[in-house]
Amino acid sequence: MNRSTVDVTFVVGYLAVAIGLLVARSNPATTYEPSIYTGTPMITWVTFAVALAIAVGMALTCRGREQALGIGLGAITVTGIVSLPVIRNYRFAGMGDALTHLGWTRDIVAGELAPHELFYPAIHSIASVFHYAGGIPIERALLFSMVITFVPFLIFVPLVVRELTGPSMAIGAAAIVSWMVLPINNIATHMGVHTNSNALFLAPVVIFAVFAYLRRRATIERLPLGLSPFSLLVVLSGIGLLLIHPQQMVNIVVLLGAISSVQYIVRRRSDDHPILDHPTMYAHTIVLGVVFGLWALSNERFRDALLILVVGLLTEDVGSGAEVDQRGSSLTEIGGSLGELFVTMFLESAIISLIVGVFVLLVWLGRTRLAPEAKSLVNYLAISMVPLTGMFVVYFVGTPTMAFRQLGFIAVLLTILAGVAISRGVGTLSNYVSRPGGTAIAALGLSICLVLGLMTVFASPMIYDPGQHVTDQKFSGYESGFEHADEDLPHAGMGYDPYRYDHGLNGVEGDGTLSGATVDSGTVDSEAFEDGDYADAYNGIDYYFIMTQYDITRELGVYQELYYSEDTLEEFERSPEANKVISNDEFRMYVVSSTE
């Protein structure tokens, strides 16, 4: 392809993504959207597809400046997709932990909470700066923070692979795999204001600092006390990760511990090995481990989480088996299956894992032509998978949610290794077909996986989890409900506990009754509600019943009336026991009188 053709192709690609973003911006969300995919105009997705198709081809076939432009095009497009809640003017996105993070940010802005009093204050602090400096609403500031922490993932994955090995094919392949956003699984990691998930996207920054320290000799630019600037970069980036979320910093400490162990063993047993030329990671492992220990053990939240994990390991009823069986049976009742859900959510991850697994096995068997230096770095990452996977198993037995967060970090390492694995695979394939043919096959396979990955970046009914779009009307309904309600009556949701909204609206640092909430809250018993025992569906007392458009979409549309039926909700509307007190297009609240 000649230079002018390449330039025209890039113009088309960048123009396409610009048009897609402008169209998305011109069509803001005006009501609750169960799926941001269907809510976003089709022309946006068409232009994004054109841009990504060009980016994939250029990232794999070009070198130097042209490859950088191709990777940049893909990164901008994927960042645009991740930024759609901001671009399309969502009031907020996220109805679980995100609302609690919103509440903590409100507390910081109001001066009721100092950032250092939080276990992981970075996201909240960044949002506070946006709020103060730009005068933007706190909700939008948090969405900006989510995008800002995502971008380094797209930048540093190819940079890490460039440090690991030289071929441009590996760098391009790694960039494409990073666009799949494998760390997001929508079980315990989410694309939104979720600090554990946000921290995953900063992990490649620390890994890049580690590889830079191992490979580059800072003989000229020394710091005082003989410190290397790369050494300092490892520590500072690790501490930065700690402030976003400590669990992912623990994984970095485990990674450094694995590298240190390999270095120690090689130094004891070999006199001629590339690892002998690497500076040791002993000090970094100890320093970051001590920093984490001092930070974590002084925090009550960490101690409580550790206690929950231990209890989960020692008891039979806190584990994954019963939860998986229950969800599997529920999916079957609405016409789905765990197998179908796995294919939808994890097929591309499974394919990438298989490719990386075969590649690592070939490296250990000595069947690859990797340079000794690159092989050593691959071994560092591959061997670290052993303790990291062991932690996944422990979490899976004790607290399954933590296990899938652990899986997110493992996916970060798989993303990095996948670039090298695919590059070597294309080289092997070229022995049987031409080099362009091997590259075309790789481009096709990666494109399919890219589509599968981007289809599940956000929650949607396709994975039986409607989007958690929070509209102005929903916020307004909850705000009025909390402000004007009788303080003696609890608030009950339809399968969703309203206390998270109390966090988001009123802050977390209150003297409330539940996790810092200022109202008593819970959920109604679906079986009693379906039987028409509305008054007895919540502990046999008077209560406020809250129904939102999200609840109706989830229960009637996605769950297909598995727990609540449309007929029951219509009967409830006519029931003398229920009196509507607040109503708008997205929110309804009723006073339900008990029979006592």
Same domain, 417 and 387: yes
When pLDDT is averaged across residues 160-182 and rounded to a whole number, the result is 94
Task: Please say if the pLDDT value at position 13 is more than 50.
Answer: yes
Full domain range(s) for residue 557: 471-592
Same domain, 196 and 262: yes
Question: Alpha-carbon distance 190 to 408, whole Å?
Answer: 10
Position 309 confidence tier, pLDDT thresholds 50, 70, 90: low
Question: Alpha-carbon distance 245 to 135, whole Å?
Answer: 26
Tokens 């396409």 sit at which residue?
A: 16
Question: Alpha-carbon distance 353 to 393, whole Å?
Answer: 17
Neighbour tally for 247: CB within 10 Å: 24
Q: What is the tens place of the pLDDT at every residue in 198-215?
A: 999 999 999 999 999 998
Same domain, 491 and 389: no
When pLDDT is averaged across residues 168-181 and rounded to a whole number, the result is 97
Same domain, 243 and 219: yes
Same domain, 241 and 108: yes
Which of 228-237, 243-252, 255-264, 378-387 has the least mean pLDDT? 228-237
- Which H helix or E strand runs over 151? helix 138-164
Which residue, 402, 434, 463, sits at the end of a domain? Answer: 463
Contact 53, 70 (CB under 8 A): no
pTM above threshold 0.85: yes
Question: Tell me, what's the pLDDT at 319?
Answer: 47
Which residue, 425, 444, 463, sits at the end of a domain? Answer: 463
**CA neighbours closer than 13 Å in the CB half-sphere of residue 81:** 28
Question: Alpha-carbon distance 408 to 483, whole Å?
Answer: 39
Question: Tell me, what's the pLDDT at 515?
Answer: 46
Question: Tell me, what's the pLDDT at 492?
Answer: 94
When pLDDT is averaged across residues 108-122 and rounded to a whole number, the result is 90
Contact 500, 596 (CB under 8 A): no
Same domain, 392 and 247: yes
Position 318 confidence tier, pLDDT thresholds 50, 70, 90: very low
Same domain, 366 and 482: no
Same domain, 50 and 142: yes
When pLDDT is averaged across residues 428-443 and rounded to a whole number, the result is 90
Q: What is the tens place of the pLDDT at every residue in 466-490?
A: 999 999 999 999 999 998 888 889 9
Which residue, 444, 463, 482, sits at the end of a domain? Answer: 463
Question: Alpha-carbon distance 464 to 6, whole Å?
Answer: 42
Which is higher by pLDDT, 312 or 261? 261
Question: Alpha-carbon distance 527 to 508, whole Å?
Answer: 31
The percent of residues above 70 in pLDDT, for the chain, comes to 91
When pLDDT is averaged across residues 370-399 and rounded to a whole number, the result is 92
Question: Tell me, what's the pLDDT at 84?
Answer: 97
When pLDDT is averaged across residues 61-84 and rounded to a whole number, the result is 96
Q: What is the tens place of the pLDDT at every residue in 396-420?
A: 887 788 889 999 999 999 999 999 9
Burial bucket for residue 11 (CB in 10 Å: 0-12, 13-18, 19+): exposed
Q: What is the tens place of the pLDDT at every residue in 29-58?
A: 999 999 999 999 999 999 999 999 999 999
When pLDDT is averaged across residues 436-464 and rounded to a whole number, the result is 95
Task: Please say if the pLDDT value at position 308 is more than 90.
Answer: no
Identify residue 573 by its one-letter amino acid code: E
Q: What is the tens place of the pLDDT at every residue in 260-276?
A: 999 999 999 988 888 99
Closest C-alpha to 40, from 27, 30, 57: 27
Which is higher by pLDDT, 198 or 333? 198
Position 514 confidence tier, pLDDT thresholds 50, 70, 90: very low
Contact 530, 565 (CB under 8 A): yes
Q: What is the tens place of the pLDDT at every residue in 551-587?
A: 999 999 999 999 999 999 999 999 999 999 999 999 9
Neighbour tally for 231: CB within 10 Å: 21
Q: What is the DSSP string of 68-137?
A: HHHHHHHHHHHHHHHTHHHHTT-SEE-SSHHHHHHHHHHHHHHTSS-GGGSSS-HHHHHHHHHHHHH---
The percent of residues above 90 in pLDDT, for the chain, comes to 73
Question: Alpha-carbon distance 86 to 101, whole Å?
Answer: 17
Task: Please say if the pLDDT value at position 87 is more than 90.
Answer: yes
Which of 62-66, 133-137, 323-327 has the least mean pLDDT? 323-327
Same domain, 135 and 268: yes
Q: What is the tens place of the pLDDT at every residue in 143-164?
A: 999 999 999 999 999 999 999 9
Question: Tell me, what's the pLDDT at 230?
Answer: 86
Question: Tell me, what's the pLDDT at 528?
Answer: 94
Q: Which residues contact 92 (CB under 8 A, 6 or more apart)?
A: 98, 99, 102, 139, 142, 143, 470, 475, 504
Closest C-alpha to 95, from 461, 589, 500: 500
Strands 543-548 and 587-592: antiparallel
Question: Tell me, what's the pLDDT at 513?
Answer: 39
Question: Tell me, what's the pLDDT at 228?
Answer: 76
Contact 475, 92 (CB under 8 A): yes
When pLDDT is averaged across residues 442-463 and rounded to a whole number, the result is 95
Question: Tell me, what's the pLDDT at 93?
Answer: 95
Q: Which residues contact 259 (CB under 8 A, 6 or more apart)?
A: 210, 281, 285, 380, 384
Taking the CA atoms of 152, 158, 162 and 165 in sequence, report the sign of the dihedral they define.
Answer: positive
Residue 583's DSSP bridge partners are 588
Same domain, 377 and 494: no
How many domains does the chain contain in total? 2
Contact 173, 422 (CB under 8 A): yes
Question: Tell me, what's the pLDDT at 223?
Answer: 61
Same domain, 458 and 515: no
Position 24 confidence tier, pLDDT thresholds 50, 70, 90: very high
Same domain, 392 and 487: no
Task: Please say if the pLDDT value at position 512 is more than 50.
Answer: no
Task: Please say if the pLDDT value at position 593 is more than 70.
Answer: yes
Which of 77-91, 149-163, 244-258, 317-331 has the least mean pLDDT? 317-331
Contact 186, 463 (CB under 8 A): yes
Question: Tell me, what's the pLDDT at 457?
Answer: 96
Strands 469-470 and 92-93: antiparallel
Q: How much is the mean pLDDT over the chain?
A: 90
